[in-house]
Amino acid sequence: MTIIRQPSLFGIQELYDMEPTQKYEAIISAIDLDRIYHAINKKSRLGAPVELNYAGMIISFFIRYIERIPTIKDLIKRLNDDFIFKMNCGFLVSDSTPSEAAYSRLVTKLSESDILEKSFESVTLAAVTEGFIVDEVIAIDATHFEARDKAPAKKEEKSETTPKKRGRKSKEEREQYLKDQAEKEANLPLYEKKIEAQLDVPLDILRAEVPIAPKWGVKKNADGKNEYWFGYKAHLAVGASSQYILQSLFSSGSLNDGKAAIALLKGMDQRLPLTSASYQTLDAGYDFEPIYEQIHRMCQQSVIAYNKRNEGEMIGFDKNFAPTCLREHSYKYDSFDPKYETLKYTRPKECSDCPLANEGICQKVYKIKITTDLRRYTAPARGSKAWKNIFKQRTAVERVNAYLKEFYQLNNVRYRTGKRAKVHFDMVALIYNASKLAADRIQAELIQQQQAHNFCF
């Protein structure tokens, strides 16, 4: 009898346990280095010749994140002390080791272009094309990390404001006030306006106007207390099963999580052919009507925790907005009709022996269109078992956040200013996705070899 061996799973940890030469080759081959090289290399023959090996510098810059080397100074020391490591980074025997200033100039060139973002998108698109990203559920969340910059000292400014006039404004004063407020709102930067202002803004503008300067941020911790930091936020959209980063966004620490969601959603919709995606799951920090509207425009469903905001109780409905009978028993969610975008609720089991049911007072079936209120009515319905199972998959993005911080040095920013810190964030996201793609390619090759071996026997 032939013994068929199941191939073991090959993940990022197994990839990082490989020999350095094989590991570097697998990860770096997933990235189009020529594209990066041409973006930062000298464009003209005029001027002083380029003496540095920029190809080797780029590879060593990537390998610094793979090997978790904390600083450029440590990278240079490793290049000087380890000849084999230097060869693996693409340097020749005759090449001198670049200085810290040379690497600083490399970071400056990367910060002045969007080549790392484009490389990230090409790696993600390759994973989609090769069939490694077939997620039905996508999770979105943000994580914070501190800046290397010092927080500016707070200046106490005495505002010389005239005391407000007491009493109700006249009709002319109120009209002028409303006019001034509307003009003030229109002149605000895009990310200081309300979230609904982003719905009809093109994706390129949404990404270009994200504030990236380090700012103070605040977030409630597990104990419900405010936690402050000075720095940035990483906003990620992650495949729940594949755990690839599908879209990433770098911002100031003060930016509200919800204001980054529409840019992430539009990026997935316009730049990736995610035909299998059906659900977007987010926590209560994203419970804003424009986010539901954007997901609905993408012909997908929202699974977002509800954040009650001083709202009164809905008479005739329970806390999950399911209709209730006269005795306040909740109707049970039955199904969703995608053609008519309608939720179907059936009579509660408590009504089987209720005298009101036999008198025709209790309704057997309720049908509610989700478009009546996209925030309250989702498919599957809030509180249902299907809704809870999808929402549980949101933890995928939290795991990726932990990987980026613990293994890819996301919280080890070594550059000052938001523009240069963004290079660090883009590198982390790119190396993570490239490592995932390399591991999946090796896994697919192992399965193919195992199938060929079994076929021979």
Band (81; pLDDT cuts 50, 70, 90): very high
The C-alpha atoms of residue 381 and residue 400 are separated, in whole angstroms, by: 28
Phi, psi of 303 (to 5 degrees): -125, 85
Percent of the chain with pLDDT over 90: 64
More confident residue, 14 or 298: 298
pLDDT number for residue 157 = 59
pLDDT tens-place string over residues 431-442: 999 999 999 999
The C-alpha atoms of residue 79 and residue 76 are separated, in whole angstroms, by: 5
Band (16; pLDDT cuts 50, 70, 90): confident
The C-alpha atoms of residue 143 and residue 397 are separated, in whole angstroms, by: 10
At 25, list the tokens.
């080759």
pLDDT tens-place string over residues 178-198: 887 878 877 888 999 999 999
Tell me the average pLDDT across 344-368: 78
Band (246; pLDDT cuts 50, 70, 90): very high
At 154, list the tokens.
């707070």
pLDDT number for residue 315 = 82
- What amino acid occupies position 346? T
pLDDT number for residue 3 = 40
Band (364; pLDDT cuts 50, 70, 90): confident
pLDDT number for residue 1 = 35
At 351, list the tokens.
């009504």
At 438, list the tokens.
């390399």
Is 378 in a helix, a strand, or coil? coil
The C-alpha atoms of residue 1 and residue 380 are separated, in whole angstroms, by: 47
pLDDT number for residue 156 = 61
Between 12-21, 199-208, 389-398, 419-428, the lowest mean confidence (pLDDT) is in 12-21
The C-alpha atoms of residue 86 and residue 82 are separated, in whole angstroms, by: 6
The C-alpha atoms of residue 304 and residue 293 are separated, in whole angstroms, by: 12
Distances from the Cα of 342 to the Cα of 5, 237, 282, 317, 339, angstroms: 47, 28, 22, 17, 8
Task: Give the position of tokens 């081959």.
Answer: 29
pLDDT tens-place string over residues 212-241: 999 999 887 777 788 888 999 999 999 999
pLDDT number for residue 308 = 84
pLDDT number for residue 174 = 79
Tell me the average pLDDT across 399-426: 93
At 456, list the tokens.
């021979």
| pLDDT for 169 beyond 70 | yes
pLDDT number for residue 351 = 75
Distances from the Cα of 31 to the Cα of 65, 110, 237, 243, 438, angstroms: 14, 15, 20, 18, 10
| pLDDT for 356 beyond 70 | no
Tell me the average pLDDT across 160-176: 72
Taking alpha carbons only, the member of 178, 210, 173, 174 closest to residue 191 is 210
Question: Is the four-CA dihedral 69, 75, 78, 82 of positive or negative sign?
Answer: positive
Is 334 in a helix, a strand, or coil? strand
| pLDDT for 48 beyond 60 | no
Band (129; pLDDT cuts 50, 70, 90): very high
pLDDT number for residue 51 = 73
Q: Please, what is the average pLDDT of the chain? A: 88
The C-alpha torsion from 233 through 26 and 138 to 339, rounded to 10°, is: 140
Per the rule left: phi > 0, alpha: psi between -120 and 50, beta: everything else, 90 is: left
- 160 burial via Cβ count (<10 Å: 0-12, 13-18, 19+): exposed
Band (457; pLDDT cuts 50, 70, 90): low
pLDDT number for residue 184 = 80
Tell me the average pLDDT across 329-346: 92
Is 311 in a helix, a strand, or coil? coil
Taking alpha carbons only, the member of 433, 414, 386 closest to residue 146 is 414
| pLDDT for 336 beyond 80 | yes
pLDDT tens-place string over residues 304-334: 999 887 777 788 888 889 988 877 888 899 9
Between 22-36, 109-123, 151-165, the lowest mean confidence (pLDDT) is in 151-165
The C-alpha atoms of residue 9 and residue 397 are separated, in whole angstroms, by: 21
Q: Quick one: three-class SS letters along 96-135?
A: CCCCHHHHHHHHHHHHCCCHHHHHHHHHHHHHHHCCCCCC
DSSP class of residue 330 equals B
The C-alpha atoms of residue 410 and residue 248 are separated, in whole angstroms, by: 13
Which pTM was predicted? Answer: 0.90
Band (165; pLDDT cuts 50, 70, 90): low
Taking alpha carbons only, the member of 259, 258, 262, 225 closest to residue 247 is 262
| pLDDT for 163 beyond 60 | yes
User: In what side-by-side order are the strands of the sheet with 365-369?
Assistant: 332-337, 342-346, 365-369
pLDDT number for residue 435 = 95
The answer to whether the CB of 238 falls within 8 A of the CB of 133 is no
Is 63 in a helix, a strand, or coil? helix
Band (200; pLDDT cuts 50, 70, 90): very high
What is the DSSP track for 312-328? PPPTTB-TT--BB-TT-
The answer to whether the CB of 65 falls within 8 A of the CB of 426 is no
| pLDDT for 46 beyond 80 | no
pLDDT number for residue 424 = 96
pLDDT number for residue 5 = 42
